[in-house]
Chain A
Amino acid sequence: MKAREVPPDAGLYVHVPFCRTKCAYCGFCSQTDLSPIDAYAESLAVEARLRAGQTFTTLYVGGGTPTVLPPELLARLLRGPDTPWPLTKDAEVTVEANPDDITTPLLETLRKNGANRLSIGVQSFRDDELRFLGRRHTASQARAAIHLAKDAGFTNIGIDLMYGFRGQRRERWRTTLDEALRWRPAHLSCYQLTIEPNTPLSRRPPSLIRSPEAKEYDFFLFTSRLLTDHGYEHYEVSNFALPGFRARHNALYWHHAPYCGLGPAAHSFDGRTRSWNVRSVEEYVARLSRNAVPMEESETLTDEQLALERVMLGMRTARGVPLSALTRYAGWEVTLERLQAGGFLVCGQDRVTVTLAGLAIADRLPLEFLP
């Protein structure tokens, strides 16, 4: 027998491109026509077969809304369509769930088929905000869903929230946060409302949708302080976790680890090449019915680009980047000193970590280093 190998971290992502209705802010790849669900499931099985090979340390079933799938399809998808997914024993298996779909039988199906982490798209505990966002559920449905999930034995629950609506005051946001904290979920994602192009929200003037930047910053600090006071680690721009409960799958993206994405629009990365599937479900199904890979495009990154991505992703996390990642840029010392003096970065022995003020401008930080 071979010695037990420790497989390198690598994630498997399965995209479920269906939703019952479309939310007003949604820029994700999902459609409301549910008729091709069966064809999609078959195609996914074919894609899994075509791209088999590697062992994964995480599985993430996301969307869209995975919970629109009929239970037996969802079960199959969690186990692996033909043969079980090649997962390590301690793999993190996450399913995204919408509050209005969550029922005890569904939760049982998930658990029985290996899901050990639930990410619930709550967004807000206020009905007016949920309506503004065009969500399908109400605040009380969200509460019930969390309750059921806890009862069903899920200990690793993540809750997604949104803030930064126009006119939203800090106290209002706080009511949602407080309520979330009462459930003490293992993980909290707090997303600033973003206006994606070609969404119903994008057709209205931004000033009617989002709060002004000064306020956004204020909310950002407030959220971070409140949650860290409650024992959460602010480990990525929008992500908070109780110790030991960071999202392992999502962290792979930020750590530039490889991942394999199945399903329409899913992206894959092998450490050098990134590729992505066609967005249209129809095209996806058509390609796989011919046993053709459903890839839309791929790009092989140069060393320069790989390095840039590492800096770009690292700057979004509190742990930052190794100092060696920055030294390749001419004039890095001056820039680093300036950003350190400004209170955005902290230069340690061999890592440069990012402060809260730094996370708030994480998109600028890599640019500062580029010559």
Chain B
Amino acid sequence: MCGSAHWRFARSSTSRPLSCDRDVRTFPDIQVGIHHTARTISVARVSSINRVTIYSMADIRNFSIIAHIDHGKSTLADRLIQHAGLVADRDFREQILDSMDIERERGITIKSQTCTLPYRGPDGHDYVLNLIDTPGHVDFSYEVSRALASCEGVLLLVDAAQGVQAQTLANLYAAMEHDLAIIPVINKIDLAAADIAGTKEEMRVELGIDPSEAILCSAKEGVGIDAIREAIVGRVPPPRGEPSKPLRALIFDASYDAYRGTVVSIRVIDGAVRPGDTIMTMSNGRTFKVEEVGIFQLRRVKRPALSAGEVGYLIANIKTVSDTRIGDTITHDECPASTALHGFKVAKPVVFSSIYPVSSDDYRPLVDAMEKYALNDASLIFEKDSSAALGQGFRCGFLGLLHLEIVQERLEREFDQSIIMTVPSVEYHFTLKDGTALVVDNPAHFPDPMDVATTHEPYIHATILMPERYLGVVMKLCLERRAEGTSFHYPTPGRIELACDMPLAEVLFDFYDRLKSVTQGYGSFDYDLTDYRPGRVVKVDILVNGERVDALSLIVHESQARERALHACERLAEEIPRHQFRIAIQGAIGGKIIARSTIKPFRKDVTAKCYGGDVTRKRKLLEKQKRGKLRMKMVGDVVIPQSAFVSVLKTKEE
């Protein structure tokens, strides 16, 4: 299943075969021993208050804040930032590190953010704390894994009301694999529903953490912040590395700035880098002139140099994703390091979908946008694709459905692209009768059923954690989703963990939302890809007024073909606006129609009154509808809105 012939990752210019083991590689170069002694180097530091101080590697602490989604990471980061005096009260806003519009609207962190905090310890000693706030949602776990590679410790937050959740565990394991110091923090103790004793017990049982080490905190009310800062200084070891050795810096993130080009986030392991240096990216031997280095303090703050142990940014004339990649090692061109650092495993996409411009004329701008976007989001993987209905576009791999949604939204908002995304799919493995192996993640490449000898589909091992009372409904849901080998386990009284194997394709079919709704939000879900198992799948085509729309085709399990096809037809009937004529939507396997729905024509669509005072308003509405039309695709006489293309996998809102 590795390095499939069909799927080639656009970013793996190194042609490194795709590894499928999911464990994140450890990072021996920054493993930190307790008896480590850092050599003192002197660097001028311009703090936020424009004070120039001298500090040594021994005074640096690099840490990430990790937790399950919504457990309060960004809010804790706020408090740390405020206590460091980095932001004036009037400029402060909640979750200040969540700087993207989309993060603020959704109230979640999508991209890790770094911030350098000055800190004077109780003994009067000055430290530099490099904080990395990470996302909690499983779809962005690639962000977490890269942040961890730049740290020596983590704050592991647990919501006192929710207790240990799936990503608490997953992120803890990731931190342990990196051998990081772990500071457990129980957050939200101000909540009436906070159960500190229960949370401690869960930490002990489920995480294997000594609960006496946990710091009690209310990020919202600023309780426990001093204790946390003292713990960071006391329990997280300073970075280890050799300031005098040849430069080695790890690129762990990048972002695109319209004025400055690519801004890469680096963690310097050995040596130092300064503006004017000629650097080389070790994966491809390309050289760049460094224009600027500095640290992040809510904005970029220039610095004369970044040295061993430090986290910051670097601007060189790096233009596109082909110039560098995240995980690459930067060294000096003149005196290069002999070995590169371990990079990151390429993100392993599990959901695939194609992106097309709404108007085929916009393909070139989309290419540009994708290249820039890819710099911003290391977990997106893409290659060229084309469709009869939609023209030229890209086949993309995502880490999950939320990731897919975010990519779509960011391409539209930040890169001003008007795009259509096709029905998401997983990767299927076929063996043809002539012995050829075929990997297909795109219904367009579905083989002729007559030629197929065997079919395998990806399976996951799912664990669902929920209050006991939901067991019945969740079991039912899982069985509907072809779950196998179900087992239970009671981590704490009243809570139950259901484990089972399930085809990944079933997760795409709106599993999260269904689970959330049947457990009234109390169920949490986590999964690991396990293996490929035999499964008979068929391709369902969708015909709109008799015309096959290739971008709407879906691959489904034979036993569910009729039901899913009907569902797709019904959803499309809801999404496609009514026209003046009747529209037939049909689902077909081969030439055989297995499901249909119709969209009734509208008959009445006119406001009763239109007098002098109504004209402007009505015209503005028309102008708005006209813009909306740009987001629709004409297929024959039928206008299909963008949203219809992914809707076929969504269950109805209740």
- A binding-site residues for B, Cβ under 8 Å: 13, 191-194, 213-214, 216-217, 220, 237-238, 250, 253-254, 259, 261, 265-269, 274, 276, 299, 305, 308-309, 312-313, 316, 338-339, 342, 344, 357, 359-364, 366-367, 370-371
Question: With A and B bound together, what is the CA distance between A363 and B580 in angstroms?
Answer: 12
A359: chain B residues within 8 A (beta carbon): 606
List B572-612 residues whose CB lies under 8 Å from chain A: 580-581, 602-612
Question: With A and B bound together, what is the CA distance between A135 and B267 in angstroms?
Answer: 73
B605 close to A364 (CB less than 8 A) = yes
A213 close to B622 (CB less than 8 A) = no
Question: With A and B bound together, what is the CA distance between A235 and B629 in angstroms?
Answer: 30
Q: Chain A's nearest CB lies how many Å from the CB of B45?
A: 53
Number of cross-chain contacts by CB at 8 Å: 100
Q: CB of B53 within 8 A of chain A?
A: no
B616: chain A residues within 8 A (beta carbon): 267, 274, 276, 299
| Chain B interface size range | 20 to 34
The 9 A-B pairs with the shortest beta carbon distances in the complex, nearest first, are: A217-B603, A191-B608, A217-B604, A362-B606, A192-B608, A267-B613, A370-B626, A267-B612, A361-B605
The contact of B606 among A265, A299, A339, A360, by CB within 8 Å, is A360
Question: With A and B bound together, what is the CA distance between A265 and B618 in angstroms?
Answer: 16
Question: With A and B bound together, what is the CA distance between A276 and B612 in angstroms?
Answer: 10
Question: With A and B bound together, what is the CA distance between A268 and B619 in angstroms?
Answer: 15
Closest to B616 in A: A274
Question: With A and B bound together, what is the CA distance between A13 and B613 in angstroms?
Answer: 11
Instruction: Tell me whether A308 and B619 are in contact in the complex, defined as CB-CB below 8 angstroms, given that A359-B606, A360-B606 are known contacts.
Output: yes
B581: chain A residues within 8 A (beta carbon): 342
Question: With A and B bound together, what is the CA distance between A200 and B613 in angstroms?
Answer: 22
Question: With A and B bound together, what is the CA distance between A371 and B615 in angstroms?
Answer: 21
B615 close to A267 (CB less than 8 A) = yes
B609: chain A residues within 8 A (beta carbon): 191, 194, 238
Closest to B603 in A: A217
Q: CB of B468 within 8 A of chain A?
A: no
Closest to A274 in B: B616
Question: With A and B bound together, what is the CA distance between A274 and B629 in angstroms?
Answer: 26
Instruction: Tell me whether A363 and B607 are in contact in the complex, defined as CB-CB below 8 angstroms, given that A269-B612, A276-B613, A370-B626 are known contacts.
Output: yes
The contact of A253 among B605, B610, B625, B637, by CB within 8 Å, is B610
What are 16 contact pairs spanning A and B, CB under 8 A?
Answer: A194-B609, A213-B602, A214-B603, A237-B608, A259-B612, A261-B613, A268-B612, A308-B622, A308-B623, A309-B619, A313-B610, A360-B604, A361-B606, A363-B606, A367-B629, A371-B629
Instruction: Tell me whether A213 and B612 are in contact in the complex, defined as CB-CB below 8 angstroms, given that A308-B619, A312-B619, A367-B625 are known contacts.
Output: no
Q: Chain A's nearest CB lies how many Å from the CB of B623?
A: 7
A316 close to B610 (CB less than 8 A) = yes
Question: With A and B bound together, what is the CA distance between A259 and B611 in angstroms?
Answer: 11
Question: With A and B bound together, what is the CA distance between A238 and B581 in angstroms?
Answer: 24
B608 close to A366 (CB less than 8 A) = no
Instruction: Tell me whether A363 and B626 are in contact in the complex, defined as CB-CB below 8 angstroms, given that A259-B612, A265-B613 are known contacts.
Output: no
Q: Chain A's nearest CB lies how many Å from the CB of B474?
A: 33
Instruction: Tell me whether A367 and B637 are in contact in the complex, defined as CB-CB below 8 angstroms, given that A261-B612, A361-B603 are known contacts.
Output: no
A269 close to B615 (CB less than 8 A) = yes
Closest to B611 in A: A253
A238 close to B611 (CB less than 8 A) = no
A261: chain B residues within 8 A (beta carbon): 612-613
Instruction: Tell me whether A13 and B602 are in contact in the complex, defined as CB-CB below 8 angstroms, given that A308-B619, A339-B580, A361-B580 are known contacts.
Output: no
B612 close to A253 (CB less than 8 A) = yes
B619: chain A residues within 8 A (beta carbon): 305, 308-309, 312
B603: chain A residues within 8 A (beta carbon): 213-214, 216-217, 357, 360-361
Question: With A and B bound together, what is the CA distance between A258 and B581 in angstroms?
Answer: 37
A338 close to B637 (CB less than 8 A) = yes
Q: Chain B's nearest CB lies how many Å from the CB of A12?
A: 11
In this complex, the member of B610, B623, B637 whose beta carbon has the largest number of chain A beta carbons within 10 angstroms is B610
For chain B, what secondary structure do more than half of its interface residues adopt (helix, strand, loop), or is it mixed?
loop
A370 close to B580 (CB less than 8 A) = no
List B540-583 residues whose CB lies under 8 Å from chain A: 580-581
List B597-654 residues whose CB lies under 8 Å from chain A: 602-613, 615-616, 618-619, 622-623, 625-626, 629, 637
A362: chain B residues within 8 A (beta carbon): 605-606
Question: With A and B bound together, what is the CA distance between A214 and B622 in angstroms?
Answer: 24
B607: chain A residues within 8 A (beta carbon): 194, 237, 363
B604: chain A residues within 8 A (beta carbon): 192, 213, 216-217, 220, 360-361
Closest to B610 in A: A316
Question: With A and B bound together, what is the CA distance between A268 and B586 in angstroms?
Answer: 51
A193: chain B residues within 8 A (beta carbon): 608
Q: Chain A's nearest CB lies how many Å from the CB of B618?
A: 6
Q: Chain B's nearest CB lies how many Å from the CB of A24?
A: 16
With A267-B613, A361-B603 given, name 15 new contacts (CB 8 A).
Answer: A13-B612, A194-B607, A194-B609, A216-B603, A216-B604, A237-B607, A261-B612, A267-B612, A309-B615, A313-B615, A316-B610, A339-B580, A342-B580, A357-B603, A370-B622
Question: With A and B bound together, what is the CA distance between A344 and B613 in angstroms?
Answer: 27
B602: chain A residues within 8 A (beta carbon): 213, 361, 364
B618 close to A312 (CB less than 8 A) = yes
Question: With A and B bound together, what is the CA distance between A371 and B626 in angstroms?
Answer: 8
A367 close to B580 (CB less than 8 A) = no
Question: With A and B bound together, what is the CA distance between A299 and B620 in angstroms?
Answer: 12
Question: With A and B bound together, what is the CA distance between A357 and B581 in angstroms?
Answer: 12
B610: chain A residues within 8 A (beta carbon): 237, 253-254, 313, 316
Question: With A and B bound together, what is the CA distance between A67 and B621 in angstroms?
Answer: 33
B608 close to A238 (CB less than 8 A) = yes
Closest to B625 in A: A367
Closest to B615 in A: A309
A266: chain B residues within 8 A (beta carbon): 612-613
Question: With A and B bound together, what is the CA distance between A308 and B620 in angstroms?
Answer: 10
B608: chain A residues within 8 A (beta carbon): 191-194, 237-238
Closest to B580 in A: A342
Question: With A and B bound together, what is the CA distance between A305 and B619 in angstroms?
Answer: 8
B580: chain A residues within 8 A (beta carbon): 339, 342, 344, 361, 364
B606 close to A274 (CB less than 8 A) = no
List B386-402 residues whose CB lies under 8 Å from chain A: none
Q: Chain A's nearest CB lies how many Å from the CB of B608?
A: 4
Q: Chain B's nearest CB lies how many Å from the CB of A100?
A: 22
Question: With A and B bound together, what is the CA distance between A361 and B608 in angstroms?
Answer: 11
A250: chain B residues within 8 A (beta carbon): 611
A370 close to B612 (CB less than 8 A) = no
B612: chain A residues within 8 A (beta carbon): 13, 253, 259, 261, 266-269
A274 close to B622 (CB less than 8 A) = no
Question: With A and B bound together, what is the CA distance between A268 and B612 in angstroms?
Answer: 7
Question: With A and B bound together, what is the CA distance between A364 and B609 in angstroms?
Answer: 15
B622: chain A residues within 8 A (beta carbon): 308, 312, 366-367, 370
Q: Chain A's nearest CB lies how many Å from the CB of B433?
A: 47
Question: With A and B bound together, what is the CA distance between A339 and B623 in angstroms?
Answer: 20
A267: chain B residues within 8 A (beta carbon): 612-613, 615-616
Question: With A and B bound together, what is the CA distance between A40 and B519 in angstroms?
Answer: 61
Q: Chain A's nearest CB lies how many Å from the CB of B644?
A: 18
Closest to B629 in A: A370
Question: With A and B bound together, what is the CA distance between A362 and B602 in angstroms?
Answer: 12
Q: Chain B's nearest CB lies how many Å from the CB of A264?
A: 11
Question: With A and B bound together, what is the CA distance between A177 and B612 in angstroms?
Answer: 27
In this complex, the member of B613, B623, B625, B629 whose beta carbon has the largest number of chain A beta carbons within 10 angstroms is B613
A274 close to B625 (CB less than 8 A) = no
